[in-house]
Amino acid sequence: MTTSIQVEESTVEMLKTLKSETKAKSYDQIIVKLVGERHRGKSMFGFLKGVEDLTKDLRDETDRI
């Protein structure tokens, strides 16, 4: 099933450029690739947030500068 979507002219130009650079056969291929990249390999940044409570007593106060 095909459908139409509304995008800004600048977005169309970016899609055209990506389609040409990647030699994709359709805009759909480009969009699927971009969405796939977005969901692949989420960052682990902040994963250990709050670990300070667990590790605060691992070192002696005397060895800190």
pTM: 0.55
pLDDT score at 62: 65
Boundaries of every domain in the chain = 9-42
The amino acid occupying position 19 is: K
**How do residues 15-61 score in pLDDT, each as one tens digit?**
999 999 999 999 999 999 988 877 776 677 777 777 666 666 666 66
**Is 31:43 a contact under the CB 8 Å cutoff?**
no
Higher pLDDT, 7 or 64: 7
Beta-carbon contacts of 7 under 8 Å, excluding residues fewer than 6 positions away, are 15
Question: Which residue reads 């005397």 in tokens?
Answer: 62
